[in-house]
Amino acid sequence: MTSLPETTAKKLGLVIDLDTCVGCQACATSCKEWNAGGYSAPLTDQDAHGSDPHGTWLNRVHSYEVGDGAESRTVHFPRSCLHCETPACVTVCPTGASYKRASDGIVLVNPDTCIGCKLCSWACPYGAREYDYDDGVMKKCTLCVDRIYNESFAPEDRVPACVRACPTGARHFGDLGDPDSAVSQLVSERGGFDLLPEMEFKPVNKYLPPRPRRDQTAQPAPRAVEQPATNSGSLADRFFAWADKTLAR
């Protein structure tokens, strides 16, 4: 079994805003695209143009409804590795291929030593790891480790591909170990939460809850209707009397 670093200097991770995720799949396909040629390459597909197209993805978006009738709402939920502080997927690894980086907390798989036993995917309660059937090793979100430190990139591009792509700005990247970081501030302001905290793997990634709906709340008081001097009869008559103003063109 593989040991974890005692502590990590940073806790890099994602903050995903369920209030503004529209389920567009940009994070999923941009992730696939970056990683199919990056650290996780190859990220293979099976029968991509046939009867049962499937492949390995490091990020998937699920859409579902919560609640019934008028109380129901539609939620789009992007799902990827949460880079837990105490990830069972690492400790369960028999070869040391799965590891958590001491410097930044990113959980990675070393494809040279991964034997494809899939113990890690059984250990992960979030379903975040996917076995690559052609490559024979386990694949997972790397937080785009080959982007975020990439000195050949402009500084603003040193973020995971999903964050770079997200059209609604629902994905944020940063150090959740630093209480003053923008992502930590966001979590604190918006009540960011852990997925399945009871499992005690201490996920680093946080989700921001949907903001309260305002379908019944914004009810400005109607202002008094002007009462023209000639007022009489129906509302329509009153409207015509009101509209019979001296207007300047």
Partner 1 sequence: MDVSFTAQAERSAMAHHEPDIALSEPSADEIKTTTCYMCACRCGIRVHLKNGRVRYIDGNRDHPVNRGVICGKGSAGIMTHTSPARLRAPMKRVGPRGCGEFAEISWTEALETATDWLKDVRARDPSKLAFFTGRDQSQALTGWFAQQYGTPNFAAHGGFCSVNMAAAGLYTFGGSFWEFGEPDWEHTKYFMLFGVAEDHASNPLKIELGKLKQKGVKVVAVNPIRTGYGAIADEWIGIRPGTDGLFIGALIHELMHAQKIDLDYLVRFTNAHWLVIDDPQAPDHGLFARDADGKPLALDKATGVLVDATRAGISPALVGTLKLRDGRQARPSFALIAERFLSDEYSPEKVAATTAIPAETIRRIARELAHAAFEQQITLDVPWTDTDGRRHEKTVGRPVSMHAMRGISAHSNGFQTCRMLHLLQIVLGSIDCPGGFRYKAPFPRPTPPPNRPARPSQPNTPLKGAPLGFPQGPEDLLVDADGRPQRIDKAYSWDAPLAAHGLMHMVITNAATADPYPVDVLFMYMANMSWNSSMNIPAVLRHLTATDEKTGEYKIPKIIYSDAYSSEMIAYADLILPDTTYLERWDCISLLDRPISGTDAPADAIRQPVVEPDRDVRPFQTVLLDLGARLGLPGFVTDTGSPRYPGGYPDYIVNHERSPGIGSLAGFRGTDGKSYGRGAPNPKQLESYIAGGCFHEHHLAPEQRYYKHANKAYLDWAKDVGFIGAAAPITFQLYLEPLQKFRQAARGHGTVTAPATHRARIEKYFDPIPFWYPPFDGAPSEDETFSAITQRPMHVYHSWGTHNGWIRQITAENSLYMNRARARKLGIADGDWVWIKSAIGRVKGRVRLMEGVNLDTVWTWNAIGRRAGAAALGTDAPESTRGFLLNHLITELLPEREGGYRFSNSDPITGQAAWYDLRVSIERAAPDEFGETWPQFVPLHSPPLAEAAP
Residue list 153-182, contact with partner 1 (CB under 8 A): 153, 156-157, 161, 164-170
Segment 34 to 53, residues that bind partner 1, using CB under 8 A = 34, 37-39, 45, 48-53
Instruction: Kindly state the helix (H) or strand (E) to which residue 187 belongs, with its residue range.
Output: helix 182-190
Shortest distance in whole angstroms from residue 104 CB to partner 1: 11
Please identify, among the stretches 61-69, 80-88, 126-134, 174-182, the one whose residues bind partner 1 according to the rule CB under 8 A. 61-69
What is the C-alpha to C-alpha distance for residues 29 and 119, in angstroms, rounded to an integer?
A: 26
For residue 24, state whether it binds partner 1 (rule: CB under 8 A): yes
For residue 74, state whether it binds partner 1 (rule: CB under 8 A): yes
Shortest distance in whole angstroms from residue 243 CB to partner 1: 5
Query: Which of 143-152's residues contact partners 24+ apart within 8 Å by CB, and which partners?
Result: 143/12, 143/13, 143/14, 143/83, 143/106, 143/173, 144/34, 144/35, 144/38, 144/39, 145/39, 145/106, 145/108, 146/38, 146/39, 147/34, 147/38, 148/12, 148/173
Please identify, among the stretches 94-102, 128-136, 174-182, 191-199, the one whose residues bind partner 1 according to the rule CB under 8 A. 94-102
For residue 62, state whether it binds partner 1 (rule: CB under 8 A): no
- Using only C-alpha atoms, the chain has a radius of gyration, in whole angstroms, of 26
Interface residue with partner 1 among 134, 178, 200, 244 (CB under 8 A) is 244
Interface residue with partner 1 among 7, 67, 179, 230 (CB under 8 A) is 67
Are 226 and 234 in contact by the 8 Å Cβ rule? The answer is: no
What is the C-alpha to C-alpha distance for residues 97 and 86, in angstroms, rounded to an integer?
A: 16
For residue 112, state whether it binds partner 1 (rule: CB under 8 A): yes
Please identify, among the stretches 81-89, 92-100, 124-132, 173-181, the one whose residues bind partner 1 according to the rule CB under 8 A. 92-100
